[in-house]
């Protein structure tokens, strides 16, 4: 590009979106990359020593080459050196000009950094590295510079609700972490990824919250893990309401029926004629469904199964009764009564598969019935649990706790932080 072609120079400056710069030259190199030489038109900078605005020119920085946003599908590299200005303070220190489009020490323009961060939202680093022609290490370095690995407590006005959930980091490994999420107003936040949910770990984490914030916590939602419940009570005292996560409770009583189902099918396989047993195919899936969701075929399979195993029918009916109970709008007091009634029916029945669950129910009646008044559950961030699942699948085997925190944070807030300014609409008619 000729340096005297002012309209073209302006067009290029517009395309590159670099405020207070002047394009000195541009050419395409042999690899099809656009090399643009710039100069800064900004006057002066802030003295790094005293903070005064200084304008006395005293030389230049080294030449830099940094990656910028692609233009027409071609990688753009910016070449520039920045003015250095001298101050009158102290021994006359010089400061390299700070410009709004470039972070010192980065090898990219700010616009390109934001572009990469946006590309990492809901994606894998290797995928982005591949598409952009950068290394995974570069991307991880970028994440480390921009995305914190711990929550910014100061930015939270309150935290009414905290949820904790345990997930396996790697498939098939007993490598669990505990994810702590919070709700402030209607905003969901990722608060921590803990190495385990032992009492000491959880107490350590909850105590790291500023006291101001701890005092705003009203509800804690978790599964029925003693370590966590005791930690919560130790940190927040009696005023906190611990809510047993409904879905964890459901998992417990549904697993009880699954165990019985396995045992009963094994028994029937031995005692029934082969042809009859074969007709029970699909029973497992049918048993997991809600009664009103069954197809005719599945209903027939279950009817047959239940004629051979009345106990299993009894267990399934009790299970569905409990699910119905959880679906009803009850007060805490009503819920307690109904749960006791259910437990009494179980004890009177011939079904023993719920014995373990009855103990849990008895021990945690408070936490379980605490669910009812406001129907809190730690899946309050349905989206978040899904995001965690997707991140695990995406980043299989590549995650440590800090990176998991970063990625959750980026997935949750990335579009708010690095989203595009345009609204996806075509330009208005010219």
Q: Give the separation between CA 287 and CA 257, rounded to whole angstroms.
A: 9
Residue 49 interacts with Zn ion (CB under 5 A): yes or no: yes
Q: Give the separation between CA 74 and CA 26, rounded to whole angstroms.
A: 13
Q: Give the separation between CA 369 and CA 366, rounded to whole angstroms.
A: 5
Q: What is the smallest separation between the CB atom of 53 and Zn ion, expressed in angstroms?
A: 10
Q: Which of 66, 78, 82, 87 binds Zn ion (CB under 5 A)?
A: 87
The distance in angstroms from the start CA to the end CA of the chain is: 27
Q: Which one, of 348, 347, 353, lies nearest residue 263 by Cα?
A: 353
> DSSP for 211-261?
HHHHTT--EEEE-S-HHHHHHHHHHH-TTSEEEE-HHHHHHHHHHHHHHHH
Q: Which of 89, 148, 344, 390 binds Zn ion (CB under 5 A)?
A: 89
Pairing of strands 64-71, 94-96: unpaired
Nearer to Zn ion, 90 or 152 (CB): 90
Binding mask 246-265 for Zn ion (x = CB under 5 A): --------------------
In the region spanning residues 310 to 349, those forming contacts with Zn ion, defined by CB under 5 A, are none
Measured CA to CA in angstroms, residue 91 lies from 84, 86, 88, 357 at distances of: 15, 10, 7, 76
In the region spanning residues 178 to 217, those forming contacts with Zn ion, defined by CB under 5 A, are none
Q: Which of 50, 234, 303, 337 binds Zn ion (CB under 5 A)?
A: 50
Size of the site for Zn ion (CB under 5 A): 5
Nearer to Zn ion, 31 or 91 (CB): 91
Residue 86 interacts with Zn ion (CB under 5 A): yes or no: no
Q: How many C-beta atoms surround the C-beta of residue 288 within 10 A?
A: 13
Nearer to Zn ion, 44 or 373 (CB): 44
Q: What is the smallest separation between the CB atom of 52 and Zn ion, expressed in angstroms?
A: 5
Nearer to Zn ion, 49 or 336 (CB): 49
Residue 47 interacts with Zn ion (CB under 5 A): yes or no: yes
Could you tell me which residues come within 8 angstroms of residue 199 by beta carbon, excluding any fewer than 6 positions away?
226, 227, 228, 230, 231, 234
Nearer to Zn ion, 55 or 327 (CB): 55
Q: What is the smallest separation between the CB atom of 64 and Zn ion, expressed in angstroms?
A: 24
**Interface with Zn ion by CB under 5 A: which residues?**
47, 49-50, 87, 89
């Amino acid at each position: 590009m000729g340096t005297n072609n002012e309209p073209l120079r302006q067009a290029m400056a517009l395309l590159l979106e670099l405020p207070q710069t002047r394009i000195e030259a541009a050419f395409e190199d042999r690899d099809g990359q656009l090399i643009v030489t710039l100069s800064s038109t900004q006057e002066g900078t802030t003295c790094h020593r005293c903070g005064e605005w200084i304008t006395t020119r005293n030389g230049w920085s080294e030449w830099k080459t940094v990656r910028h946003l692609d233009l027409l599908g071609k990688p753009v590299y910016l070449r520039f050196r920045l003015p250095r200005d001298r101050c009158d303070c102290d021994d006359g220190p010089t400061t390299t000009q700070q410009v709004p489009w470039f972070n010192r020490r980065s090898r990219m323009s700010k616009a390109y950094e934001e572009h990469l961060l946006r590309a990492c939202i809901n994606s894998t680093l290797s995928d982005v590295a591949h598409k952009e022609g950068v290394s995974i290490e570069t991307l991880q370095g970028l994440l480390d510079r921009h995305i914190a690995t711990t929550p910014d407590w100061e930015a939270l006005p309150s935290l009414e609700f905290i949820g904790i959930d345990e997930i396996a980091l790697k498939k098939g490994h007993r490598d669990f972490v505990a994810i702590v999420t919070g709700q402030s107003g209607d905003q969901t936040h990722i608060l921590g990824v803990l190495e385990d949910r032992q009492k000491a770990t959880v107490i350590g984490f909850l105590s790291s919250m500023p006291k101001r914030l701890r005092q705003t916590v009203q509800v804690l939602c978790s599964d029925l893990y003693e370590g966590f419940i005791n930690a919560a009570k130790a940190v927040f005292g009696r005023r906190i309401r611990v809510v047993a996560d409904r879905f964890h409770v459901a998992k417990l009583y549904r697993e009880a029926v699954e165990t019985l189902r396995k045992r009963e099918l094994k028994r029937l396989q031995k005692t029934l004629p082969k042809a009859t047993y074969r007709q029970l195919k699909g029973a497992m899936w049918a048993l997991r469904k809600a009664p009103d969701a069954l197809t005719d075929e599945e209903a027939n399979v279950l009817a047959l199964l239940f004629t051979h195993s009345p106990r299993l029918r009894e267990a399934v009916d009790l299970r569905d009764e409990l699910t119905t109970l959880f679906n009803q709008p009850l007060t805490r007091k009503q819920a307690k009564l109904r749960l006791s009634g259910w437990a009494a029916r179980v004890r009177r029945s011939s079904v023993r598969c719920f014995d373990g669950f009855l103990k849990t129910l008895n021990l945690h009646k408070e936490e379980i019935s605490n669910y009812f008044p406001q129907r809190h559950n730690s899946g309050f961030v349905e989206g978040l649990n899904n995001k965690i699942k997707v991140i695990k699948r995406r980043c299989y085997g590549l995650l440590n706790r800090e990176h998991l925190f970063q990625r959750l944070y980026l997935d949750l807030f990335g579009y708010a932080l690095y989203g595009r300014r345009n609204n996806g609409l075509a330009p208005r008619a010219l």
